[in-house]
Structure 1
């Protein structure tokens, strides 16, 4: 069934491709945050264990929202580990130590990277693809990541 919501199909396809990359980034960051939750060690274990849980729960909601946005413009969301690893711009890092400070720095760098990527896509979606809904949607995502990054950064001061 065709969807007539005022976005040209070629623009919707471009937006869906970019949203798929965003979904992949969110999934990789979610997995890395789960890893921190499961494997953090140190004197601050319990507090950081709970902190990372709060963060991955927020990322879980974000992933669902991104996938649903892709569907709302009549495209299918990627949903395999292989596709996520092919689409993401984030990396999986191996850690020698499982201390909270190291995890926080790593996760913060990923949030900052996602924020910068989203900031670029906001104008692209609005100006080039003429999709103000998706532009507004990823503006909201950027704000969520800015808040999560602030929470991580506060632990490093």
Structure 2
């Protein structure tokens, strides 16, 4: 059933498509953070293992919330790895070592990339697509990524 929430169906479709790209980015970052959690090695293994767990848990909640935002707008969320890889602007191949510093640098770059993408879309959602709710939502999401990026950055020497 179509969502009748004061936003045109064309604008809702465009917002949902943009959110699908964000969802794909979040899912790829979630997967990469899980990889870091599972595979990190080194003298600081335990602390970094726990740190990456905290990060992927936050990302898991974000993935769910973005998908639910798409559903609230009356559209279906992408939910396959194939779709995510087609929609994301991140890369899943990092080819790095399994030490904490390598994982942190890779994950930080992805958070910063997502931050830039979110920041670039805040005004588009509000002004062009007339969806202040999604604009506000991704502003909050941006702030969450800023905090997560800060936590990663704090681990770099």
The interval holding the TM-score normalised by the smaller chain is over 0.9
Shift of 1:119: 0.1
Tell me what 2:117 maps to.
Answer: 117
In the TM superposition, 1:7-156 aligns within 5 A as 7-156=7-156
Alpha-carbon distance between aligned partners in 2 of 1:100 and 1:33, rounded to the nearest angstrom: 11
Q: Structure 1 residues 19 and 96 mapped into 2: Cα distance closer, same or farther (>3 Å)?
A: closer
TM-score normalized by the length of structure 1: 0.98
The one-character-per-residue Cα deviations of 1:80-134 (angstroms, maximum 9, x if unpaired) are 0000000000001243410000000000000000000000111110010000000
* Residues 126 and 132 in structure 2, CA contact (< 8 A), matched pair in contact too: yes
Alpha-carbon distance between aligned partners in 1 of 2:155 and 2:100, rounded to the nearest angstrom: 9
Question: Which blocks of at least 5 consecutive residues in structure 1 are unaligned?
Answer: none
Alpha-carbon distance between aligned partners in 1 of 2:68 and 2:143, rounded to the nearest angstrom: 18
Question: Which blocks of at least 5 consecutive residues in structure 2 are unaligned?
Answer: none
> How many aligned residue pairs are there?
157
Alpha-carbon distance between aligned partners in 2 of 1:96 and 1:154, rounded to the nearest angstrom: 20
Alpha-carbon distance between aligned partners in 1 of 2:33 and 2:101, rounded to the nearest angstrom: 13
Q: CA RMSD in A?
A: 0.7
Alpha-carbon distance between aligned partners in 1 of 2:62 and 2:96, rounded to the nearest angstrom: 29
TM-score normalized by the length of structure 2: 0.98
